[in-house]
Structure 1
Amino acid sequence: MKAIVHDQLGPAESVLRLVDREVPEPGAGEVRIRVTVSGVNPTDWKARTGLYGGEVVESVPNQDGAGVVDAVGPDVDGLAVGDRVWLTLAAYLRPGSGTAQEYTVVPAERVFPLPGDASFELGASIGVPAITAHRALTVAEDGPTRLAPGALDGKVILVAGGAGAVGHAAIQLARWAGATVIATVGSAAKAGYPEAAGAQYVVNYNDADAGAQIRGFAPDGVDLVVEVAIGANAELDLEVLRPLGTIAIYANNGDKPFAVDIRQNMGLNARYQYVLLYTVGWDKLTAAAEDINAAIEAGALPVGEDAGLPLHHFTLDRTAEAHQAVESGATGKVLIDVS
C-alpha cells in the first residue's frame, strides 16, 4: 500500500516521502480502515516539525480521516466490515497509524460511524476541529456538558477566528444548540465565512471599537469565548465577558505572550479552561463524537464554500503541499484524497 512517512523532523518538502508499506493487520480491539480522505490540521505539521518534542521514529502523519472499515480484530463491537466511518487521533501514541496512507489500523474507540449519506470529505473535516469546538462549548461552570438542540438556549457565544476550521465547527454546533453567536475575523474578506456558517454577527477584531461592537450585540456580555489567540485577544475577551463567564483556550495563534490581569479577572469571576484533545479522556471524546453525529444527521455541520469552510484537495503524493498549505494559514479545510 502507499503511505506518507517521515523519520526526521523538519519542513514538509524535506522530510515527507511516499513509500510502499505492508498492509497492517488489526489486533484485539482494533479495526483496519481503508482511508478515502485524510484531513490535515495544525497539530499535524506541529508534530512533524518537533514542536511537541518526543522521540523521533518513523511516523505517518495526520490524525483525522474517513473511509470504510476493511477488517475487524477480535473483541470489537459495533463496527463491521463495510461500515462508512470517520476517525480521529489516529496517530496519538501510534506513530504508524496516521491517516496519510491507504490503510490504517487504530483502536476501535477512535472510529465512529459516518451518518447517512454524509460525504467522506465531511468525515475527514470534523475530527479534531469539531471535537475541539464541542469541548470548548461545554466547559462553562453553568453550561451543558453535552450539546443538542436547546442546550445553549439564551447563551451568547463569542467565537474568535470564525473563519478557521475549529471556529467554523464552533459556530455551527453553537447555533444548532440554540446559542446566539458572534464571530471575529481579521479582515473584511473573511467576514463571509462565519456568516455562511451561521454566525448572526461578525466583527473585525482589528477595529478600534471591536469591544463596543460586540457589546452592542451582547449588552450583558458574552457567556463564553472560544479562543484561538489568547495572547492577542485577552484584553478584548475581558472587555466583553460577562461576570462568571468562561474563556475556552484551544490555541495561541501568533504566539503573543499571555499575561493574566488578576484584578480584572477576579472582578469578573472569570474562568479559563484550556482545551487539548490528547489528554481530555476518551469518555469526553466519545460523548462529543455522539453529539457531532447527531448534528450531522440534522444537517447542522455542512462543509464547503457555501457553508463557510472552503475545501482544498490534494492527492496523497502531494501531502507535503497539503501540510505547507495548513502551515501557511490557508483559509478553509485541507484534505488529502487517498483512495
Structure 2
Amino acid sequence: MSAVVRMYKPGGPEVLQYESEEVAEPGTGQIRIRQQAIGVNFVDTYFRSGAFPLPTLPAVIGGEGAGVVDAVGAGVDSISVGDRVGYYFSPGAYAETRLLPATDAIPLPHDLGSEEAASLLANGLTAWGRLHRVHAVKPGEIVVVTGATGGVGSLLAPWAQHLGATVITPVASDERVEAAQALGLKHVVVAGTGQLAKEVSAAGAGADVVYDLVGRATFDEAVAALRDGGTLDLIGSASGAPDIDAAALERRRIRVTRSSTGDHLPDRATLLQASEDLFRTWREGVFGTRPIRTYPLSKIVQAHQALEAGFSEAAIVLLPDKT
C-alpha cells in the first residue's frame, strides 16, 4: 500500500485527507515513481479551495515532485528503473508513489537533491519562460520585479541580474529589504515611497520590462516606472487583481502579457533545454542557498496552513512518512 492525499470537496486545508491506495503498474507511455519529495505551491491552494475548479472529485492535487523510477511502461525507452526524475506540473503529486507520463519526467543531475528539485522546478521553469520567452533579458536593460522574495520572484530577480540587467525590486516594507538583499539583489526599494521612480530614473530612461507578481499593491507604481514601448508581464496578483487602464497602456505602446509556464514549454525538447538552463544557473550559485521547510506527507493540513499564513520565506516540501 502507498500513502496518498485526496480531497472529496473543495474547501480549507482540512478537506485534504491522508489515505492509502494500491498503485497500478504503469501503462503505455507511463512510468511509476517512488517519490522522495513533493513540492507545495500556492497554486495548489486554488485547486483545493475551488478557485480553480477540478474536473472530477475525489482528486489528488499537487503538481511538482521528484523521486526514483521503480517501473516503466510499454513504449518508454528513454527512462529506466532506478533513474532519478522530477516534474514541474503534472497533477497527482500528493502521493508516496504515483504514475506519471514519461514525457513529463525531467532527468535530475546527480548533484541536485530531490528536496531541492521539488522546490526548484515549477518556480524555476516559470522564471525561465519569463526571462527567455516573454521578454529576452539583455545586458544593460532595466528590469523591475515585484514580489522578488516570493517563490518565482526569488529566482527570477537574481537570474535577470545574472543576465546583465539592472534589476530593481520594490518590497513592502523596510523589514523586507534585508530579505531581498539576501538574494544578492543590488537595487531594493520600499514600495509607495517614491524610491522606485528615483532608482529607475538613475538607471536610465525607464524600465524595459516589469515582471509583476504582486498586483494591486504595487501595480500603478510599477507601470509608471516602465518606459513607453516596454513590456508589462502579469504573472501573479498576491495583493489582488489590479485595475488596468488598457487605453492608457495602449497610448504608451506598452505590451501587456499573460501566460502560463506551459505556454513557453511547448514540447519535450524545450522542456529539457529549459531544465538544463535552470540546473546550470542553480549550479553557478545564482540563486544562493534557498531555505526549505519540510513536512511529512501525513501533515499536509499543517503544510497548507503554513503556506497560506506565510510563516516563512522557505519553500515547503512534503516528504513521504517513514515507516
TM-score by length of 2: 0.90
| Deviation of the 1:261 alpha carbon | 4.8
Aligned pairs, how many?
A: 317
Q: Match for residue 155 of structure 2?
A: 169
Are 2:307 and 1:322 equivalent residues in the alignment? no
1:173-208 per-position Cα deviation (integer Å, ceiling 9, x unaligned): 22332322222211222222322222221111132x
1:77 to 1:192, Cα distance in 2 relative to 1, 3 A: farther
Which amino acid in 1 is paired with 2:118? A
2:215–2:239 contact (8 Å) kept in structure 1: no
SS of the counterpart of 1:233? helix
1:253 to 1:170, Cα distance in 2 relative to 1, 3 A: same
Q: What CA distance in whole angstroms lies between the structure 1 residues aligned with 2:23 and 2:54?
A: 26
Are 2:200 and 1:215 equivalent residues in the alignment? yes
Q: What CA distance in whole angstroms lies between the structure 2 residues aligned with 1:298 and 1:73?
A: 36
Q: What CA distance in whole angstroms lies between the structure 2 residues aligned with 1:297 and 1:69?
A: 24
Q: Which runs of 5+ in 1 are unaligned?
A: 92-97, 145-150, 305-309
Q: Match for residue 244 of structure 1?
A: 229
Q: What CA distance in whole angstroms lies between the structure 2 residues aligned with 1:106 and 1:83?
A: 14
Aligned structure 1 segments of 4 or more residues deviating by more than 6 angstroms: none
Percent of residue pairs identical: 30
Q: Match for residue 256 of structure 2?
A: 272
**1:14-33 matched pairs, under 5 angstroms:** 15-33=15-33
CA-atom RMSD in angstroms: 2.1
1:214–1:240 contact (8 Å) kept in structure 2: no
Which amino acid in 1 is paired with 2:119? S
TM-score by length of 1: 0.86
1:232–1:256 contact (8 Å) kept in structure 2: no
**1:11-90 matched pairs, under 5 angstroms:** 11-13=12-14, 15-90=15-90
**1:189-268 matched pairs, under 5 angstroms:** 189-207=175-193, 209-263=194-248, 265-268=249-252
| Deviation of the 1:262 alpha carbon | 1.7
Q: Which runs of 5+ in 2 are unaligned?
A: none
1:222–1:241 contact (8 Å) kept in structure 2: yes
Q: What CA distance in whole angstroms lies between the structure 2 residues aligned with 1:223 and 1:319?
A: 41
| Deviation of the 1:225 alpha carbon | 1.3
1:9–1:56 contact (8 Å) kept in structure 2: no
Q: Match for residue 95 of structure 1?
A: none
1:150-174 per-position Cα deviation (integer Å, ceiling 9, x unaligned): x632222211011101001102322
1:139–1:248 contact (8 Å) kept in structure 2: no
Which amino acid in 1 is paired with 2:233? A
Q: What CA distance in whole angstroms lies between the structure 1 residues aligned with 2:131 and 2:298?
A: 36
Which amino acid in 2 is paired with 1:25? E
1:137–1:224 contact (8 Å) kept in structure 2: no
| Deviation of the 1:35 alpha carbon | 0.9
Are 2:97 and 1:103 equivalent residues in the alignment? yes
| Deviation of the 1:338 alpha carbon | 2.0
SS of the counterpart of 1:133? helix
SS of the counterpart of 2:123? helix
1:136 to 1:87, Cα distance in 2 relative to 1, 3 A: same
Q: What CA distance in whole angstroms lies between the structure 2 residues aligned with 1:205 and 1:27?
A: 52
Q: Match for residue 126 of structure 1?
A: 120
SS of the counterpart of 1:53? coil
